[in-house]
Structure 1
Amino acid sequence: MKKEDQFLGKHNAPNENFEIEGAQLFGHPKGLMTLFFTEMWERFSYYGMRALLILFMTAPIATGGLGFDDQTSGAIYGLYSMFVYLLALPGGWIADRLVGLKKSVWYGGIIITLGHFTMALPGLFSVMSSAPDLPKDQLTGLDLYSFFLGLILIVLGTGLLKPNISSIVGQLYPENSSKRDAGFSIFYMGINMGAFLAPIACSTLAIYDWHLGFGLAGFGMLMGLIQYKLTSKHLRGVGDFTLPENEIESRKRSKLINAVWLSLVVLAIIIACFFLEIISIDPTAIAAVSNTVIAIVALLFFLYVLFLGGLNSDEKKKVGVVMVLFVFSSIFWSGFEQAGSSLNLFAERFTDRVVMGWEIPAGYFQSINSIFIILFAPFFGAMWVMLAKKNLEPSSPLKFAFGLVLLGIGFLVMYFAAKIAASGDLAAPTWLVITYLFHTFGELSLSPVGLSLTTKLAPKKFVGQMMGMWFLSIAMGSLIAGRIAGGASGGTAEALSKMPDQYLLIVYTVVGAGLVLMLIAKPIRRLMGNVH
């Protein structure tokens, strides 16, 4: 799970004179529990569907899958992951300017639920048909339309819900409250509970029908919406939107609302043209172009801030550090996000999953990261505190470097597992478990530091935009991960023979990046000034 979820709303708290109102539960606002369970169910829906996504796309049509090749499936997976992060930016903007945080969470949850149930539609029609057990020999329009429309709805809904629910958590506490960090830690536990339970539950139902798994993910989000509405009284006074008081601001808001509706109409027309086959879309080509576009946008943004942002020398140095971190963050997430793509396919195709005569669904392995996060996050937090007391705590750039190296060690484990697979044998599940262990250690070293450091280094007038750039780096890494998965998943005999070398190339890339960052850590630390 992404540790930045814990920090996303920390800089959106009310002023220091704000007083927490309403009932308390163990010293925390009861509203925290409302948000805890809403986020738990939202993450349940997200990670439940994610555990099935690439497996469903690559599964043969006769078994209920889409029958896509690995290249296409990886590109779609990467584009989906990318847009989940990209749309968090306009999602936050809509909440701030048009509807408020609470309504954004509510509307986002509704759209997500519709998305999951849309993906489950073919299963419902199959059950209702007269011959549901007959194998299919070709895809129907419903199969494709419901799949892609469902993905689009989930992306749109997540963009509305994800950034804003964390911001409401921040508003439950005064900025100087000693309980605020503890509140975010509790909230973060909800994220990992949902992410732990979902792959197991949804993968179990997917054994019988893929669409049952998608439907269960939607049911999870529906449960979150119901409890959100029933307990919303505990959120009274936070996350509300104040309507403009003067006519000029009201007209401006009306124009913005019209612009949003126009954008949605244009999107609907494009989707309709795709479904009617008026236009064709090549996911692989779009993924390649998107990588280039994101890189150019990031570069132009940083150049604009550096040369036209009106910054002083110290601020420019700190922005330079953010630029460097953007690159290394993208490299890290391009490896880490293999969990839902190439590593998920490895679990299905090349791992011995039979225990006492029962075959463990491949999606179960997607819960391992969450288990390790729950177990080791307190340990890492205590370790940094202990090292800080002894003046031995590594600098933030060094923690970044450790994260990359640990990620590389995880892929080194996969290199040996891939060698076993390439020889024709099935690898033991232990290989994947150890890989996810090192990846979790890498995540705990890098991810908590990334967003927190970005907000500290950002010039005051660019804080929000710099936070956006952090998520843009994750979006870029996620897209690269999907593209890599297309060639590192061993879907053909030729790809299988090359798979060990593909994993070794990832090791060289991420470990090499970590070592480079270690070498330049001291100069970067000097550029950071008084930021630690």
Structure 2
Amino acid sequence: MTLFFTEMWERFSYYGMRALLILFMTASIANGGLGLDDVTSGAIYGLYTMGVYLFALPGGWVADRLIGLKKSVWYGGIIITIGHFTMAVPGVFSLFDGDEAVKETLSGLDLYTFYAGLILIVLGTGLLKPNISSIVGQLYAEGSSKRDAGFSIFYMGINLGALIAPIACSTLAVYDWHLGFGLAGFGMLLGLVQYKLTGHYLDGKGDPPIAVTKVEKDSKKKLTQIAWIVLLVLTVICILFFTGVIGLNAPRLAAASNNIIALVAVLYFAYLVLFGGLDRGEKKKVGVLAILFLFTALFWSGFEQAGSSLNLFAERFTDRTLLGYEIPTGYFQSINSLFIILFAPFFGAMWIWLGRRQLEPSSPLKFAFGLLFLGIGFLVMYFAAKVASSGELAAPTWLILTYLFHTFGELSLSPVGLSLTTKLAPKKYAGQMMGMWFLSIAMGNLIAGRIAGVTSGGTVEGLQQMPQQYLLIVYITVGAGVLLVLLSKPIRSLMGKVR
């Protein structure tokens, strides 16, 4: 219960703010936004969502080596809350709209508080997100049948928060963007309160590593102090750097980050195979993970268009009028979570039913299905873009159908990939292999932001090109899915007995 509600409110804060993020960046200054162009906004969005997954790696290290899982969740939640409230600060000043001096101060303040808030949320999520899941795992004995049920309930908390948040935060953002950001922070604050009040249920779980000797205790204390100082200095540097540099060079930085992640992945897998001390079977399994790394990054680069280009499509080219009322754009961000809640039990039951009849597809085939469903979703968007490029508003059913197929893709790939990573990873590299799974998602999120900048139809020329751009995404994702179907048998042979 403690972890369910903490995670629910953390996801409330994350998805509530994410629903507003690219809309706020691209909104004109006159309408309370930052007035950034689509390419820059998409790059910043990609860098932010990439950072959320990248910082899960040092966040896990801090928990394992220094302060423990429970404290990491607590401090992470505090940093996230401060981040959201930082983004909401200009909303307080907007109460004094009549004062021209305050207006001038506000326009300069907004950029600093925006980047500062994003950086704090990235750092806080890196501490909280990986470690709260680890505590869930500690609640149950190894091999207990309750473990899967516990994670299923926990997963429902994630989607419940993601379902409610875009609706709640977008409703307030209609009046002021910063009210939406503030509500996201208030959600995380509620999560912290209940985490502290019910924390006694976690006694004995997620505690810090035990230092036995005085030398160990002193060393751990100094290392913890250094870690907090480094975190503080890094935050200040990032805020200054982002505010002064990223606004102008975000696309270039996103491209460089993309190349760096790709290079790190190639070098790491090569090192593991050549110098990792693995036997022949383990090398084959690492090879499978390296292959699936590419397809995973490709999947998330399409799926994560939900918060960027598809969000802008809902804002600019979708008829959102219902019974004379204009539905806030962010409401569409709840559709995926609603479909997850509705169809996740069905997919789970379907795999079990097929497994009993020896008909369950292999994991590589499930990956392929995920990419094919993703491609079908973008095929729907091709027709929606044709409507938009003709000068008419598209019906909301186009986006709803797209999210439906994308959800089917997510259910085919995401839980399967997570499970397969734990099965294929060599035991002595299990944590690092999970880190590579997060790295593939980070890379996909970064690419998603870059794609969004050129598929958003922000200019007349861009609008006319939008159908062909979506069709190109269809060719790439469906082509990758078909390729993976053809490669599934060779990949299966490399996996050994693992399905």
Normalising to structure 2: TM-score of the pair?
A: 0.97
Unaligned residue ranges in structure 1 (runs of 5+): 1-32
Counterparts in 2 of 1:262 and 1:106: CA distance versus 1, 3 Å:
closer
Superposition deviation, residue 125 in structure 1: 1.2
**Helix, strand or coil: the match of 1:140?**
helix
Q: How does 1:184-199 map to 2 (within 5 A)?
A: 184-199=151-166
Structure 1 CA distance for aligned equivalents of residues 277 and 245 of structure 2: 47
Are residues 1:68 and 2:22 paired?
no
Give the aligned partner of residue 73 of structure 2: 105
* 1:113-172 deviation per Cα after TM superposition (whole angstroms, max 9, x unaligned): 000000000001111x25279997997221101000000000000000000111111111
Output the CA distance in 2 between the equivalents of 1:513 and 1:48.
Answer: 32
CA gap of 1:180–1:483, structure 2 versus 1, over 3 A, is: same
Query: Given the superposition, is the C-alpha separation of residues 411 and 275 from structure 1 closer, same or farther in structure 2, using an over 3 Å criterion?
Result: closer
Distance 1:279 1:134, change over 3 A: closer
Describe the shift of the 1:276–1:290 C-alpha distance in structure 2 as closer, same or farther (beyond 3 A). closer
Match of 1:148 among 105, 115, 125: 115
User: Cα 1:472–1:278, aligned 2, differ >3 Å: closer, same or farther?
Assistant: closer
Q: Which amino acid aligns with 1:110?
A: I
- Aligned with 2:143 (options 151, 176, 180): 176
AA partner of residue 383 (structure 1):
M
- The counterpart of 1:351, out of the listed 291, 312, 318, is 318
Match of 2:391 in 1: 424
Query: 1-side partners of 2:369 and 2:121: how far apart?
Result: 34
Q: Which amino acid aligns with 1:94?
A: V
Contact (CA 8 Å) 2:94, 2:103: kept in 1 or not? no
Does the C-alpha gap of structure 1 residues 252 and 301 become closer, same or farther in structure 2, counting only changes over 3 Å? farther
CA distance in 2 between partners of 1:171 and 1:314 (Å)? 30
Question: Are residues 413 and 488 of structure 1, via their aligned partners in 2, closer, same or farther at CA, if it must alter by over 3 Å?
Answer: same
Flag the 1:102–1:434 CA change in 2: closer, same or farther, 3 A: same
For the residues of structure 1 that align with 2:414 and 2:246, how far apart are their CA atoms?
39
Q: Counterpart of 1:199 in structure 2: which amino acid?
A: P
Tell me the equivalent position of 1:507.
Answer: 474
Partner Cα separation in structure 2 for residue 446 and residue 339 of structure 1? 17
Give yes or no for contact 2:78–2:124 (8 Å, CA) kept in 1. Answer: yes
Aligned partners of 1:120 and 1:212 also within 8 Å: yes
The change in CA–CA distance for 1:272 and 1:36 in structure 2 (over 3 A counts) is closer
Residue deviations 1:377-418, cap 9 Å, x none? 000000000000110000000000000000000000000000
Partner of 1:484 in structure 2? 451
Please tell me whether residue 372 in structure 1 is matched to residue 344 in structure 2. Answer: no
Q: Give the match for residue 22 of structure 1.
A: none
Structure 1 residue 58 corresponds to structure 2 residue 52 = no
Q: Deviations over 1:342-375 (max 9, x none)?
A: 0000000000000111000110000000000000
Q: Which amino acid aligns with 1:96?
A: D
Deviation, structure 1 residue 236: 0.9
Is residue 332 of structure 1 aligned with residue 299 of structure 2?
yes
Name the stretch that deviates more: 292-301 or 279-288.
Answer: 279-288
Q: Alignment identity in percent?
A: 73
Deviations 1:485-531 (A, max 9, x none): 00000000011011111111110111100000000100000000011
SS of 1:177's equivalent in the other structure is coil
Q: Secondary structure at the match of 1:282?
A: helix
Q: Is residue 497 of structure 2 the alignment partner of residue 497 of structure 1?
A: no
1:362-401 to structure 2, matched below 5 A, reads: 362-401=329-368
The CA deviation at 1:263 is: 2.5
Residue 21 of structure 2 aligns to which amino acid in structure 1?
A: L
Alignment of 1:247-326 (within 5 A): 247-271=214-238, 273-274=240-241, 277=244, 282-326=249-293
Contact 1:104/1:164, CA 8 A, preserved across alignment: yes
Residue 269 and residue 373 in structure 1: after superposition, are their counterparts in 2 closer, same or farther (change >3 A)? closer
1:227 aligns with 2:194: yes
The answer as to whether partners of 1:196 and 1:370 remain within 8 angstroms in 2 is: yes
Equivalent-residue separation in structure 1 for 2:308 and 2:339 (angstroms)? 19
Partners in 1 of 2:382 and 2:465 — Cα distance? 11
Q: How far off is 1:264 after superposition?
A: 2.2
What does residue 45 of structure 1 align with? Answer: 13
Aligned residue identity for 1:428: A
The one-letter amino acid paired with 1:338 is Q
Runs of 5+ in structure 2 lacking a partner? none
CA contact (8 A) 1:61 1:137 kept: no
Aligned to 2:52: 84
CA distance in 1, matches of 2:79, 2:416: 32
* Matching residue's letter, 2:300: W
Residue 210 (str. 1) matches residue 177 (str. 2) = yes
- Indicate conservation of the 8 Å contact 1:62/1:136, yes or no: no
Q: Following the alignment from structure 1 to structure 2, what is the Cα–Cα distance between the partners of residues 277 and 299?
A: 32
Distance 2:25 2:246 in 1: 21
Give the match for residue 407 of structure 2: 440
In the alignment, which of 125, 128, 145 is matched to residue 93 of structure 2?
A: 125
Is the alpha carbon distance of 1:395 and 1:366 closer, same or farther for their aligned partners in structure 2, counting shifts above 3 Å? same
Distance 1:135 1:510, change over 3 A: farther
Name the amino acid aligned to 2:427.
Answer: K
Q: Distance in 2 between matches of 1:232 and 1:462?
A: 32
Instruction: State whether residues 84 and 181 of structure 2, in contact with CA within 8 Å, keep that contact through their aligned partners in structure 1.
Output: yes
2: distance between equivalents of 1:139 and 1:229?
35
SS of aligned partner of 1:400: helix
Quickly say closer, same or farther: Cα 1:280–1:490, change in 2 above 3 A: closer
- State the 1:287 CA deviation: 0.2
Q: Look up the SS of the partner of 2:159 in the other structure.
A: helix
With 147-156 and 240-249 compared, the bigger mean Cα shift is at: 240-249
Q: What secondary structure is seen at the aligned counterpart in 2 of 1:100?
A: helix
Specify the SS of the correspondent of 1:49: helix
Offset of residue 278 of structure 1: 8.8
Distance 1:188 1:482, change over 3 A: same
**What's 1:16 paired with?**
none
| Two-structure CA RMSD over aligned residues (Å) | 1.8
8 Å CA contact 1:347–1:362 kept in 2: the answer is yes
Change (3 A) 1:308 1:259: farther
Q: Is the 8 A contact 2:119 2:239 kept in 1?
A: no
* Residue 406 (str. 1) matches residue 388 (str. 2): no
Structure number with the higher helix fraction is 2
Name which of structure 1's ranges 491-500 and 273-282 shifts more when overlaid on structure 2: 273-282
Number of residue-to-residue matches in the alignment: 499
Amino acid at match of 1:58: T
In structure 1, C-alpha distance between the alignment counterparts of 2:242 and 2:385, rounded to whole Å:
39
Contact 1:126–1:132 at 8 Å: present in 2 too? no
